[in-house]
Amino acid sequence: MSCFPNLFSRKARIQEDVSILPPAYSSLEHAPSVQLSREKSNKQVFFGRIVHSKSLKDLEIFNKAALGVDESGAIHFLDDKVGSAAEACKKYSGFEQAACTTLKPLQFLFPGMIDTHMHAPQWPNMAIGMEGNLKEWVENYTDPLEASYKDNDKARRVYDEMVQKELENGSTTVAYNSSPHYQATNILADMCLKYGQRAIIGKLCIDRNATHGNVEVSTTQSLEDEEKAVAHIRKIDPEAKLLSPCIQPRSLGFDSPELVAGLGKMCYPKTQSSPIHVQAHMCETIADFKQAQKVHPGFENYSEIYDHYGMLHEKTILAHCIYLSDRDIDLLVARKSGVAHNGNSNTCLTDGECRVRELLNRGVKVGLGTDCSAGYGISILDSMRSASNVSRHLVIHKGDPSLKLSFEEIVFLGTMGGAQVCDMQDKIGNFEPGKQFDALVVDVGLKDNINISGWEHDDLALVKKWVFMGDDRSIRLVYVNGKLVAGKDR
């Protein structure tokens, strides 16, 4: 990790006066606000503190750097050798008239966060239903709520609010699970496009074992409706600038062999060189695994069932993955499939603890998910904290300190790790030139619950304060594809 001292141009003073009062922030509090001149051109330059993950261990923090975004929303340069936005505009040809944003002294640019597992229809159930285990929660809360999305007006009302809240909380990309209704799924896709959120969306497929009518009328209907949802997403965003369709079995205890076989075929359209995304659940609890084996007899390992039907590939996102066998882990590595780790949800439903350290060591892609509403926090900041806490509980239980996830690692999982799990590592996740500008302007100098006092010795401390204490109040601007889409200062 490289961080730059002289954080507030007063590190020396902090060190000298460490036994007395912290330095005052008066000069910073009265510093100029973010300066915007958007009317100048479609190119943009940001100047100030910039934070992003280069690898699991390397959180790069520039105290001052310039970042240029071109008309297409792609990052053109990231340069820490210039002293101002104006200097960057002069240095880079074509950026002379760029709209410049200079960050305040206690602001920083952070990559848009990536939620690799979220159930859109469960939004109204947030924070409700944690009394029981997974089965009780699904049957008492999830099934009746998801079934109610046959009402398109309800879908419109809920998704309109939810997508905006997600963006305000800094989730610029979300892999959404939907309900077993293609119309409601199409409405979810419409909302993501309307509000400018990057999303992976599919219709949930269930043809057995669900309660409260949260099941499709037939296997054939389930397959036909999934095709309709995929076709709708391709139609409204043909260049996939924001939306990617996905195939979405709920989990193998809820999907018959015929259904999974049909979905597996759907993963590989003849017109495309790469497969369609898949989102599904795997090895959340022991009972969940046993139910999958009951529906799909003859398989020893959970992943082998998905693999048998061609559903494990580089665009497959598997939620939870707590009770994996060695064979499961080997298959995930071989197929380049990713894991969505949902620490909050796994704790709330007392599912268990995902062995993230082992997965990372063995080369499995891991990102973070909120798994709302089994998890009660919609922010990936909450998912980072939960991932940190779950790993610390593993240390307590196993007595192995190496299982603890570092700060650099949890930030990576919530950004670059998520990009890898979504197979979008070349497009988003950090600020490498060539990637799309999905970003947040974060302010830790507000009068909210983040207590920046002046004792902080480096830039890293500011980022830690935000990750562990921050919320949507500190997220001032949210960009997707270079376009301002949300934020308190929008």
Task: Provide the binding-site residues for Zn ion, judged by CB under 5 A.
Answer: 319, 371
Which residues, 6 or more positions from 413, have their beta carbon under 8 angstroms from its beta carbon? 341, 356, 366, 367, 368, 384, 387, 405
Question: Could you tell me where the beta strands, DSSP code E, fall in 435-474?
Answer: 439-443
Q: How far apart are CA 257 and CA 297, in angstroms?
A: 10
Q: Closest approach of Cβ 371 to Zn ion, in Å? A: 5
Is 51 or 204 the residue whose CB approaches Zn ion more closely?
204
Which residues, 6 or more positions from 3, have their beta carbon under 8 angstroms from its beta carbon? 61, 63, 458, 459, 460
Q: Closest approach of Cβ 133 to Zn ion, in Å? A: 14
Amino acid at 365: K
Q: What share of the chain is helix, strand, coil (3-state, %, to 5)?
A: 40, 20, 40
Q: Closest approach of Cβ 228 to Zn ion, in Å? A: 23
Q: Look-up: residue for tokens 């499709």?
A: 216
Q: Closest approach of Cβ 250 to Zn ion, in Å? A: 9
* Beta carbons of 481 and 449 less than 8 angstroms apart: no
Is 119 or 465 the residue whose CB approaches Zn ion more closely?
119
Is 109 or 317 the residue whose CB approaches Zn ion more closely?
317
Q: Closest approach of Cβ 119 to Zn ion, in Å? A: 6
Q: How far apart are CA 370 and CA 474, in angstroms?
A: 19
How many C-beta atoms lie closer than 10 Å to residue 35's C-beta? Answer: 13
Is 2 or 133 the residue whose CB approaches Zn ion more closely?
133
Q: How far apart are CA 203 and CA 184, in angstroms?
A: 8
How many C-beta atoms lie closer than 10 Å to residue 272's C-beta? Answer: 9
Is 168 or 371 the residue whose CB approaches Zn ion more closely?
371
Q: Closest approach of Cβ 364 to Zn ion, in Å? A: 18
Q: At what angle do helices 182-195 and 219-236 cross, to 10 degrees?
A: 20
Is 319 or 368 the residue whose CB approaches Zn ion more closely?
319
Structure tokens at 231: 């076709």
State the Cα torsion 10-11-17-18 to the nearest 10°: 140
Is 371 or 443 the residue whose CB approaches Zn ion more closely?
371
Q: Closest approach of Cβ 375 to Zn ion, in Å? A: 9
Is 226 or 371 the residue whose CB approaches Zn ion more closely?
371
Is 143 or 371 the residue whose CB approaches Zn ion more closely?
371
Q: Closest approach of Cβ 342 to Zn ion, in Å? A: 7
The b-or-e profile of 424-453 (16+ CB within 10 A means b, else e) is: bbebbbbbeeebbbbbbbbbbbbeeebebe
Q: Closest approach of Cβ 281 to Zn ion, in Å? A: 6
Is 371 or 409 the residue whose CB approaches Zn ion more closely?
371
CB neighbour class for 325 (10 Å; exposed up to 12, middle 13-18, buried from 19): middle
Q: Closest approach of Cβ 415 to Zn ion, in Å? A: 21
The b-or-e profile of 291-324 (16+ CB within 10 A means b, else e) is: bbbebbeeeebbbbbbbbbbbbbebbbbbbbbbb
Q: Closest approach of Cβ 3 to Zn ion, in Å? A: 36
Is 187 or 319 the residue whose CB approaches Zn ion more closely?
319
